[in-house]
Chain A
Amino acid sequence: MLTCDRTLALLKEAGIPVVDSVFVPTEVGRDTDALFAAQVAAAASVFFRRDFDLLGVPPVGNVPEKYSGDSVVLKLFVSGFSHKSDSGFVALDLRGEEAVRESAMGMLSRVPEDCHIEGFLVQPMIRGGREVFIGAQLDAQFGPVIAFGPGGILVELLNGTDFLRPPFGKDEALLFIKRNAVFPLLSGVRGEKPADIGAIATTLVRLGEFMLANDGIVESVDLNPFLAFGAGSGGFALDARIKEADA
């Protein structure tokens, strides 16, 4: 599994949108957990101030529109712990720097000794949007294939994950989305407006290009969940993982 900051950097370079995040890495020589937690809380302040210029890059996915500015999500990356929430390394809806600091302290106290801590990821708390699953994997017979389907708990309800082999263009990606079981939910039920299907299609195309450019190097990519907002408002992944292929 690639590290969190490397994953975010690669996806940004590939034009695959992930919610704006600040990564605070472990630093060699940092004395105490308290100091680390304080630095994390300080980093979270950009979200509370809605000061997106400080992120150093223009926000992707129109974060300011989706983000109320009152709370953040904190994730701790520890090597060997891929299920962060099961291990208590994810905290949602943290309001204010003090809440972030306390949560960070609590997580650090739960890390078993001898485990390598990669660092903390701070993200704005996002509400709304429709969840889909976007992923990629290396198939033994057909090479890279891009996966798409219902996200969250619907993955199992609808059993609708489908695959598309790159390269493909945006129009072909749109045909692929339209044949999926999740499409009725994306096109809007009970007066709901349609989701930004174009943003999903663009992400699928770019993920396909990413897999071909890294053919044989990347084993799988998971963007789960990927949130699609209303038509024209874009979408982004809330979580991302890249697994390298065995050498």
Chain B
Amino acid sequence: MKDRVSAVADLLSPHVVVHIGASESGVYPSDVFKSLASSPVTLYAVNPKRSEVFGHHCFSSVAELPDREGTEGKADLAIITVPAASVPAVISDCAAAGIGQAVVISAGFAEAGAAGRILQAQVEAFEDRVHILGPNCAGFANIADGIIATRMYSRPVAGKISFVSQSGALMMALHGAFAERGAGLRYIVSVGNQAGFRLSDFLFHFASDPGTRVIAAFIEGLPDGTEFVEAARRCLEAGKPVIAIKSGRTELGRKLAATHTAALAGEGEVFEAVCRQYGIILVDDIDDLIATSSVAAAVADSPVSRIAWISQSGGLGSLTGDLAKSAGIEPESFPPEFGISLNPVDVGGDKMRGAVVKDTLRPFLAHQGIDAVVLLFAKDPNREIEMETARNVVAARDESGKPIVVIWVGPTLSTLSTGSVASPALQVLREAGIPLFGSPGPAVCALGRLSAWRRFRKAWIASGASAGKGDGHAHL
């Protein structure tokens, strides 16, 4: 049997999936089945009470599934949505059928008192034969390959961020919020009670996954601090920022986390110190998690140490300059050949409207002394001409290969504005994966955090902390 970290790859990229408890009713039994049915996998349904589910033949048990040639297991992965009391028997069936990975979506385990803890122990007893994600989780999605083993509220956008969450609801809710910021996702995983796979296993996997450039995490409690530290070290070595929220840092939060995913939350102070030591960017709230992750993904290939801040409004430019300075990223003066010294520069409204914006941006983006551009707009984006503006911003970025972040202060809903554009400018920017902010503070804060992270990583490597000082952990 593979160790958990190696098994993550099998979990996230199954070829044959069996959904045990598939149904046409019940939120998870039906929605997860529909997601799987539209995924590029061979899907079997198991439910002794039904003969078919949404037109798929339904087997009465796992044992009935056809054998596969050349492999022992009848499936690569089982998705389980039966009541908690039936889960141990179902896991036993999976073990007998050679199915090495199971996602237990069912709740009612360690988070639900003494009887639940007994059930969870019965499930854990199969750990040498079946790797469990959950129980009490919301599944996962491999968005890059289109394998959706969870409920999705909207069409996912593929990208460079992998998100692991202890909370299932947050995992499902946030993919749309990432998309709104122009950020695409690669994997999203909810780990629930962490009976088998742990949050750290996914950090290890993401650290070595070439498609993951940025890692986001929602943490309530960790079963093993040492594993977490080693995983964080791997991510830091790999140059992938881990942006994390930790709940349960107050007494109330700890109590809530314990009833939510049965997690033992650690001492807040020591956890925060460990995050500082291993370069985890700890943020306080969800907006900040999304903002920092989306900017990190957009600038993954850029040093972003020299930013040109280009504004359509003098007021917005000077406010942003103040905020940038206090975030530790005071804008450097422009190279002398620009003939302007003040950064942010106020180029005026005419040069920031319509197709001309591309000509405005070209010299900045072409200059080797400038790594990235932040554009500052203060106007109604919901007008025909601004779609032209947005398209040309995207074109300028694509032409130069340098990242652009847009701060657009103005009404975001077209219903509130005088225009009547079906697909407003902001949508164009979003779909092109440009990080989009309605106010300078969060954008500046995100850039400041990333800049501090890069400085820290450089000093950390120079201090020799990355080399050979591990604990001799099994994953090294």
Contact = CB atoms under 8 A, between A and B. Distances in A.
B465 A179 contact: no
B274 interface: yes
Interface string A180-209: 000000000000000000000000000000
B464 interface: yes
A179 B464 contact: no
B277 A169 contact: no
A143 interface: yes
A172 interface: yes
Contacts of B224: 141
A179 B463 contact: no
Contacts of A165: 229, 273-274, 277
Interface in B213-232: 222, 224-226, 229
Nearest to B470: A167
Interface string A58-89: 00000000000000000000000000000000
A176 B226 contact: no
B469 A145 contact: no
Interface residues of B, number: 23
Contact of B269 (A140, A163, A179): A163
B465 A145 contact: no
Contacts, number: 64
A180 to B, nearest CB: 11
A167 B460 contact: no
B259 to A, nearest CB: 19
A171 B464 contact: yes
B9 interface: no
Contacts of B442: none
A170 B471 CA distance: 18
A169 B463 contact: yes
Given A139-B270, A164-B273, A164-B277, A172 B465 contact: yes
A174 interface: yes
Interface string B442-476: 00000000000000000110111100010100000
B235 to A, nearest CB: 16
A168 B229 contact: no
B273 A145 contact: yes
Contacts of B471: 167
Contacts of A174: 463
A136 to B, nearest CB: 12
Contacts of B229: 142, 165
A118 interface: no
Contacts of A145: 270, 273-274
Interface string B222-256: 10111001000000000000000000000000000
B463 A175 contact: yes
A5 interface: no
B266 interface: yes
Greatest chain A CB density within 10 A among B229, B271, B273 is at: B273
Contacts of B270: 139, 141-142, 145, 163
Given A171-B463, A172-B463, A172-B464, A141 B225 contact: yes
Nearest to A176: B277
B267 interface: yes
B342 to A, nearest CB: 31
A162 interface: yes
B276 interface: yes
Nearest to A139: B270
Contacts of A143: 225-226
Contacts of B465: 168-169, 171-172
Contact of A140 (B266, B277, B460): B266
A171 B465 CA distance: 8
B225 A169 contact: no
A139 B267 contact: yes
B463 A142 contact: no
A172 B278 CA distance: 11
A237 B270 CA distance: 24
A179 B266 CA distance: 23
A145 to B, nearest CB: 6
Interface string B396-425: 000000000000000000000000000000
Contacts of B267: 139-141
Contacts of A176: 277
Greatest chain A CB density within 10 A among B229, B267, B277, B459 is at: B277
Nearest to B465: A172
Contacts of A179: 276
A141 B219 CA distance: 14
Nearest to B266: A141
Contact of B460 (A139, A161, A162, A175): A175
A164 B264 CA distance: 21
B132 to A, nearest CB: 22
Nearest to A169: B464
Contact of A169 (B226, B276, B469): B469
A25 to B, nearest CB: 37
Interface of A: 139-143, 145, 161-165, 167-169, 171-172, 174-176, 179
Interface of B: 222, 224-226, 229, 264, 266-267, 269-271, 273-274, 276-277, 459-460, 462-465, 469, 471
9 contacts: A139-B267, A140-B264, A141-B224, A141-B264, A142-B270, A143-B225, A171-B462, A172-B464, A175-B459
Q: Can you list the 9 inter-chain pairs with the closest CB atoms, starting with the nearest? A: A141-B225, A171-B463, A163-B273, A142-B225, A141-B266, A172-B465, A172-B463, A139-B270, A167-B469
Given A143-B225, A168-B465, 5 more contacts: A139-B267, A161-B269, A162-B276, A165-B273, A167-B471
